[in-house]
Each structure stands twice: as structure tokens, then as C-alpha cells.
A and B are shown apart, each in its own frame.
Chain A
């Protein structure tokens, strides 16, 4: 049994002991899936296989990948125009570090996944939208693209068919909102990355007004093994209702922070205690953001829950990117909330008033409370703002909604801490040298 049978995303990297380039990738069965999909399957058969696999988007939203691909009008466009396939490699969700790892260590699995996706929707142009700061991942991906081109896996007439694919990297100018798929498309077009009105959704009208699919790096990396080994095998990898494996990560005061590919549905406690080797001596875990900065806090009562889409949502949060950020007992929840809101306020694109004006205002109120200037009634004001700013539909995209998720849950679970700041007129914590 190969490591790839249980760890389709990272198994080959583990076997090789470092970044996997073409020779190692092919020796481990690389590009067999692309050859099978493009050479032997119809596009609709590929989409059906991905639908059957129950693969859901790994960028945070969890939308079913095959269903999304099925929204693209099949066959050649009536006007002869192109369709686009885009990879969202704009990993800027604070606390998330999985796509950097995947691109740097297994770049051909991303290329192969995109190749299969492009064939499925009939795209002939593909872009990897990559964070501008990701210099090392970019160099490795560029090397892998060159290798794939030289081997005839990218370019024209692929795998003995008339299917062509041109794959290029776009380096972002850097803004969190580029991770929102329609903002990403505006950035790709050289514009300010403001989200677009929806509908139309990108599968109907995306990059340069053409049908476009945007998926996360990890999502594409899952596709080759689904095509090679089948939807049934993939579904069986998951421990719960969700399918496949997930790259989980832990950052914070644990003994071994890091990333691990595990069956989806592994419990939070197992990830922290077995894989991250538990909390460092002298630190106690109080809460965590399960999948990036824009997810609601979870606390002790949730730690035995399975990390999958449905379970974490039922607990009032989101699995998000699956890379959790731990808040230990040395960290002040008010100050951590201020740090989070600083990020969201800064990264608001500025288009909608509640987000542009509301988030900086929340940040400044949190700073007041943290520094001992809080007033009675401030928490009720924060509650109200969380409700108004966070409600989907009050803003164009979900940036403000995401910003409010950690705030509303901090106000719920750590309310005593907020109240103490106001009553005592000072912060009772001295957090990790952040005084």
C-alpha cells in the first residue's frame, strides 16, 4: 500500500522527502489521471466523477466542486470565445499556510488538477492567481510549469487530442479581498479588486466577461486522485459525511505547530493533542479560530467535534481553511479581537459604507476598551454593530460578515473578559510580550 492511498495530497512529498518535481511526480503515478481524463473520458464524465466524489471547495466556503464546474455552459462557446480556469492561490486568510506548502512541495499536483478541470469545462486559458509575497512558491511553480510544457503536458494537442491549455502565473499586488472570487477576477483584469455584483456568477460571466471557474489550490490538488482512483475511494477517505482528506494546520502555543493531511472529520482534539503534540508547558488552551481569522471562536465544549463542514457549522462556526489559530490563556481576548479587526478594517476594499466605516470604528472601540477607556454600554454597541455590519446583504460581499464572525463569538464566549476591562479600567492580561 502506497502512502498515496491515504494521503493523496502529501503522500508523494513524504515519500520523496522534499519538493516533488516532474521525474518524482511521474514515478509516483503523476499525470496518469490527466491522461485518463483527457484521453479516455468525456468532459461530462469528468464532471460527474468529481460530483460523485463529493469534493467541496477547500478555500473556505465548501461549495461542491463538481456542481460548480457543471454551471459552465458545456461545449465550445457559440461565439467561439475562450473559457478560463483560474486557481485562487491568493492565500491571505490570517493563520492559513497550507497553499504555500502545497504549491512549494507538490506543484505538479496543482497543474494536473487544473489540467483536468480545464478539460472538464472546456477552458483553454488558465491562470494561477498567486500572492505577490509568495516568491519561493512562485519559483517552484514556474519550474514545474516549464517541466510540464517541455513534457507536452501543457500547450497544444495534449495527450494525443486536440485539447490545448495555456497556463500562466499572475502575481497579485496584494490585498486580502482578492481572495473573493469576483474581486480576484477584477484584479486579474488589472483593476482595483472590488467584488462584483452577483449574478452573473463567474461560471456564466467571469474573467473578461467569459465563463470562468475559480477554485482554491487545495481543491485542484485533490482532483487527480479522484480521477485516477475513483469517487468511491475518495468518499471513503473521509471519517464523516464529508469526503477525502483535509490539510489541517495548527498555529499558536503548541509544542509542534504545523500541517498534516488527515481524513476529513478528524477531531479538533486529535489534531491539537496528537499531531501538534499539545499545548506548551504553562499554557492552557481557551479557544480557537478553526479555519482562519474570519471564522467564529470555538471553545472547550467543542474540542471533541469533527473538523468537517457540517459539524463545525452546526457548532456556530466554519471549518474555513482548516488551519486553526489557538488562543491560550496568556492572550487577552479583547486585544486579540482588536488585532483581528485591525486586519479586516485595513483590508476592506472600501466600496460599501458599513464595512469601510464600521470596521475601523469597531477597531477603535476595541482599542479603547483594551487600554482602559471602555464605558458602560460599549459592549451593547459592539453587539449592535456586529449584528448590523455582519448581516449578509448589508454589504456587497462577505468581507464584513467574515470580520464579524470572530468578534461576535468573542463577545459571546469571553464576555467576562470584556466586562472586566471596562469595570477595572485596564487590561488584566499581559499577553506574550505584547504589552
Chain B
């Protein structure tokens, strides 16, 4: 089993961060998305166990919270690799050749969109317009925006993400 299975579904640190969000809101349930994002920040994704623990912490049913979690593009309900590559597939990047680049990216990593490399280094996902359309094609790796991406730059781009 992975390390995550050995630690509780919610750590004291996560609970403290979630409670801090709740203190600024009119009711506990309004912190649902913040709570999911906090757990994901610490663990990379939101497991069933964490989801249930968050639900009881904020006073929501697990099913209702899962309805929230699965609605949002940036909340992962499956494990992801150490780094998440989110490649823009919207129209400005498309016009600048993003569909071809997407195929290059899949070939380079040996995975399809939605998959994780065998060494768990990268998960590859599509993402909606990253709002940097004058520097298309764009992608985001973890929290870094990467602009003017081309196939010949991929090795250099990946280097800093071990």
C-alpha cells in the first residue's frame, strides 16, 4: 500500500486549514470546495476516505460532497503522478497547432490524455484555455504556466520536474 493509506483520512494540519476557511464563511458547508482543494494540495488527490472525512467535518453527506468534487475540473478523484501536465485544448491554442502538439506529447510520454506514466512522474490532462492566448500553445505543469510550447522544447521543459 502507498504511504497515504498509513496516514489518517484528514491530518490535523488539513483540519486546521479547513477550519480557518470555515471561520470566514457564513456556514461550514460553504467551505466544501476549499476543503477538497486543501486536501488535494497535501495529498495530490482526494481519496474516498478523505472525501468522507471532509463530509463529516463540514456537515454534508458523502454523496453530496462527491457531487461537488466531481463537478470541478481541478479536483482529482484518482491518484495522479508527481507532476500534472495540463495542456490547453481550447481554440486559440488549437489555431496555433495544439492538436498536433498534443499528439507529440502523448508520443513523448508514452501515455494518452487522462493517464499517468509508469514511473508516476507525469499525469497528462487536457485543460480549458489558460488565459495566455497571445503565447499559444500553452500548458501548465503543476503551478507553472509554460508559454509558446513546441515539440522540440519538451525535453528542456520536462527537465526541472523530477
Task: Tell me the A residues contacting B by CB distance below 8 Å.
Answer: 91-97, 99-100, 131-136, 166, 168, 170-176, 187-193, 208, 249-253, 257-259, 289, 293, 323, 325-328, 331, 336, 339-340, 342-343, 346-347, 349, 431-435
Contacts and interface: CB of A to CB of B under 8 A. Distances in A.
Interface in B48-78: 58, 67-68, 71-75
B127 A173 contact: no
B97 A434 contact: yes
B133 A192 contact: no
A100 B72 contact: no
Interface string B87-125: 001111011111111000000000000000000000000
A188 B33 CA distance: 8
Given A94-B133, A249-B134, A432-B100, 15 more contacts: A94-B92, A97-B133, A131-B131, A133-B131, A187-B33, A192-B67, A193-B72, A252-B96, A257-B135, A293-B90, A343-B90, A343-B91, A343-B129, A431-B99, A433-B97
Which of A166, A193, A339 gathers the greatest number of chain B CB atoms within 10 Å? Answer: A339
Contacts of B29: 189-190
Contacts of A133: 74, 86, 127, 130-131, 140
Given A173-B75, A174-B73, A325 B133 contact: yes
28 contacts: A92-B129, A94-B91, A94-B128, A94-B129, A96-B129, A97-B132, A99-B131, A100-B132, A133-B131, A133-B140, A136-B145, A173-B36, A173-B73, A173-B74, A175-B73, A190-B29, A192-B67, A208-B30, A249-B133, A251-B92, A251-B134, A258-B134, A323-B133, A326-B95, A339-B90, A339-B94, A343-B128, A434-B98
Most A CB within 10 A of own CB, among B68, B127, B133:
B133
A340 B33 CA distance: 28
A253 B95 contact: yes
Residue with the greatest number of chain A CB neighbours at <10 A, chosen from B68, B86, B94, B132:
B94
Contacts of B72: 132, 172-175, 193
B30 A190 contact: yes
Of A91, A92, A250, A328, which is in contact with the most chain B CB atoms at under 10 Å from its CB?
A92
Contacts, number: 156
Contact of A135 (B30, B101, B143): B143
A265 B131 CA distance: 23
A188 B34 CA distance: 10
B55 to A, nearest CB: 12
A434 B33 CA distance: 36
A120 B72 CA distance: 33
A115 to B, nearest CB: 18
Contacts of A93: 129
A347 B128 contact: yes
Nearest to B94: A339
Contacts of A174: 72-75, 128
A91 B131 contact: yes
B86 to A, nearest CB: 7
A434 B89 contact: no
Contacts of B98: 434
Contacts of B80: none
A91 to B, nearest CB: 5
B97 to A, nearest CB: 4
A93 B131 CA distance: 8
Contact of B95 (A175, A327, A435): A327
Nearest to B101: A433
A133 B129 CA distance: 10
B37 interface: yes
Contacts of B136: 251, 257
B97 A339 contact: no
Interface in B17-51: 24-27, 29-34, 36-37
Nearest to B145: A136
